[in-house]
Amino acid sequence: MTLGWRHPFDALGTEFYSSVNPTALSNVHWVAKNHALARAWGWPDDAFDDHLLNVLSGNAVAKGSQPCASVYSGHQFGVWAGQLGDGRALSLGVIDTPLGAQEIQLKGAGKTPYSRMGDGRAVLRSSIREFLCSEAMHGLRIPTTRALALVGSPDRVLREDIETAAVVTRVAPSFLRFGHLQHFAANGEIKALKSLVDFLIDTQFPHLNQVEDGPSRYTALLADITRLTAVMLAKWQAVGFCHGVMNTDNMSLLGLTIDYGPFQFLDGFDPAHICNHSDHQGRYAYARQPQIAYWNLFCLGQALLPLIEDQDKALQALETYQSLYPALADREFAVKLGLTLAGADDHVLIESLLKVLATEKTDFTIFWRRLSHAVAHLQSLGPTKAFEPVKDLFIDGTAWLAWLPRYLHRLEGTDTEQAGLLMLATNPKYVLRNHLGEEAIAQAKIGNFALVDDLLQVLSSPFDEHPRFEHLAGFAPDWASSISISCSS
Ligand code: AMP
Ligand code: MG
């Protein structure tokens, strides 16, 4: 299979990237292949052959591909950190697919000129998490970078322990981050900043070329990215997704979820939950994510200011977030409740329900799924019987039983069978809980990749039942709360 590779930054000068070939790994093997994505691209069933294995492990460079790494900076945990990357993601190029032009990156294929003290590698453990979660988020219809394949090698990589190397093949229309623009703005390289932003507009936001050239167009870009980020955040919150490291270099300019590290899907609903054990202050706790995104957008606005020229205009574009995010989040949660037409009191209804869930840290995913079934069966079973499995989730059901009549009142006049179907297509049965990732990692470390495959299958269609995989939809076991996930990857 030959692919028509294009350079990802051919319109830009070499201040944006460095050409660098991947560094080979020994005895590489497939850990996972994303056949569904390959099929969506029209690739043949035997596409994952030895040649592709060599290309996607960095052991060979495909004909026409010119690997390169791009430079970016960013704020880490609220502090300016200067140049950060990309120290271990190499772009192989852009290919045309039926899903549009896609950039293909190898994460962990060796050092780049931006690696700083790093080894340019990624370990199997974190690569399995990134591979599975990219596809889980896609299955949940949340904007994300995707993963085409995962390869492993016995080559040793030193982290807290000695681990083995892996390479994830990531895919996105573009991997440009807030940090890419921050890099040139912080260095006062305004001409380069403008070239990069114009390139971003031409390739990813071409509709903005209809806006008058100059500050108005750059303001419109900031407004677009603000909107895309708000959409992404509302969807994260609605599925209980914690990113864990929302540094500005981990924020996509396309509003894609990017850089899966210490992420977690909430088990019990705890708004203050911190999933990253390196995040001692809880800066990136679940409930703080929407405001952190806004903070990050301000950094982006700051970087774009030399092009927007007018601080008030930049602020206006950014401030749309403050009304847009709450409206989008309410919408997401209303649909989770089966409510298609917005009601005046829905926000209060949602907030009070989230308080009920927080009281006992009720399992977030199972609650919504049981609620969906209850609504679907409300007509046939009546409220007491239909909601019994939901009530069973609470030790002290008082707060729940106080909330339920308000919900039933709100559902009056609704076709609850239809609403239940909508809810079952909105509230997933399967999410990548930490303990599932840990089990898949433990098995993969001894050469068994079956659970990675099973998880890929169910997480790709998380709203379906998958009777064979009922065991992947249960509560987190007790040991899950002792899993410690840090930035180490
Ligand atoms: P992160 O906090 O994981 O997003 O890391 C910040 C940046 O550090 C990344 O964008 C990478 O460019 C770089 N980095 C992380 N780990 C490594 C590594 N093992 N080798 C080289 N660079 C790395
Ligand atoms: Mg990163």
466 found inside a domain: no
**Domain match, 113 and 221 both:** no
What was the pLDDT predicted at 337? 98
What pLDDT score does 341 carry?
A: 87
pLDDT band with cut points at 50, 70 and 90 for residue 2: confident
**Which residue segment(s) compose the domain that 416 sits in?**
339-424
In a domain, 379, yes or no: yes
Last residue of a domain, one of 155, 176, 197: 176
The catalytic residue positions are 249
pLDDT at 13: 87
- Averaged pLDDT score across all residues of the chain: 97
Task: Please tell me the predicted confidence (pLDDT) of residue 347.
Answer: 97
Give the pLDDT score at 417.
97
- Tell me: pLDDT of 362 over 90: yes
The pLDDT of residue 27: 98
Count of structural domains within the chain = 3
pLDDT reading at 218 higher than 90: yes
Q: For residues 257 and 351, state if they share a domain.
A: no
CA distances from 289 to 130, 198, 222, 237, 256 (A): 19, 29, 19, 8, 15
pLDDT confidence band for 208 (50 / 70 / 90): very high
For residue 438, being part of any structural domain is answered with: no
Instruction: Please check whether residue 469 lies inside any domain of the structure.
Output: no
pLDDT > 90? residue 10: no
pLDDT in tens, 234-248: 999 999 999 999 999
Q: What is the pLDDT of residues 417-431, one digit of tens each?
A: 999 999 999 999 999
Tens-digit pLDDT profile for residues 100-157: 999 999 999 999 999 999 999 999 999 999 999 999 999 999 999 999 999 999 999 9
Least confident of 27-31, 209-213, 341-345, 357-361: 341-345
Q: Looking at 176, 206, 239, which one is the last position of a domain?
A: 176
Q: How far is the CA of 250 from the centre of ligand 2 (A)?
A: 5
Compute the distance from residue 72 Cα to the ligand 2 centre, in Å: 10
Question: Would 50 be classed as within a structural domain?
Answer: yes
Q: Is residue 487 part of a domain?
A: no
CA of 88 to the centre of ligand 1 (A): 6
pLDDT, one tens digit per residue, over 249-287 is 999 999 999 999 999 999 999 999 999 999 999 999 999
Residues 46 and 194 reside in one and the same domain:
no
User: Do 197 and 53 sit in the same domain of this protein?
Assistant: no
Looking at the fold, whether 251 and 368 belong to one and the same domain comes out as no
Q: Among 381, 406, 424, give the residue marking a domain's end.
A: 424
Distance CA 367, CA 25 (A): 45
369 ligand 1 Cβ < 6 A = no
Q: Could you tell me if 274 and 229 lie in one domain? A: yes
Predicted confidence band at 36 (pLDDT cuts at 50, 70, 90)? very high
Rounded to an integer, what distance in angstroms lies between the CA atom of residue 32 and that of residue 150?
5
Task: Tell me: do 325 and 215 sit in the same domain.
Answer: yes
Answer for the pair 201, 221: CB distance below 8 angstroms, yes or no: yes
Give the mean model confidence (pLDDT) for residues 202-210. Answer: 98
Angle between helices 311-336 and 346-360 (to 10 degrees): 70
Same domain, 38 and 112: yes
Calculate the alpha carbon distances from 433 to 229, 239, 324, 424, 481 in Å: 24, 12, 29, 19, 11
Does some domain include residue 209?
Answer: yes
The reply to whether ligand 1 has any atom less than 6 angstroms from the CB of 419 is no
Q: Both 199 and 316 in a single domain?
A: yes
Q: What are phi and psi of 77, to 5 degrees?
A: 50, 40
Contact 245 CB / ligand 1 (< 6 Å): yes
Q: Measured between alpha carbons, how far is 168 from 121 in angstroms, rounded to an integer? A: 10
pLDDT of residue 322: 98
For residue 14, give every residue at least 6 positions away whose Cβ sits within 8 Å of its Cβ, in sequence order, or none: none
pLDDT at 11: 84
Give this prediction's pTM.
0.98
Pocket of ligand 1 contains residue 61 by CB under 6 Å = no
Please give the share of the chain, as a percent, with pLDDT higher than 90.
97
Residue 163 Cβ contacting ligand 1 at under 6 Å: no
Sign of the CA dihedral with 51 first, then 54, 60, and 66 last: positive
247 & 104 share domain: no
Average pLDDT over residues 39-48: 96
Ligand 1, closest atom to CA 259?
4
Residues 167 and 186 in one domain: no
Distance 445 CA to ligand 2 centre (A): 24
Residue 359 pLDDT more than 90?
Answer: yes
Q: What is the pLDDT of residue 112?
A: 98
Residue 174: its pLDDT value, please?
98
Domain-located, residue 355: yes
Please report the beta strands in 68-114, taking only residues with DSSP state E, as ranges in sequence order: 68-70, 72-76, 79-85, 89-97, 100-107
Residue 487 scores a pLDDT above 90:
no
What is the helix (H) or strand (E) element at residue 55, kind and residue range? helix 50-56
Q: Is the dihedral of CA 319, 320, 326, 332 positive or negative?
A: negative
Mean pLDDT value across residues 442-449: 98
230 with 114, same domain: the answer is no
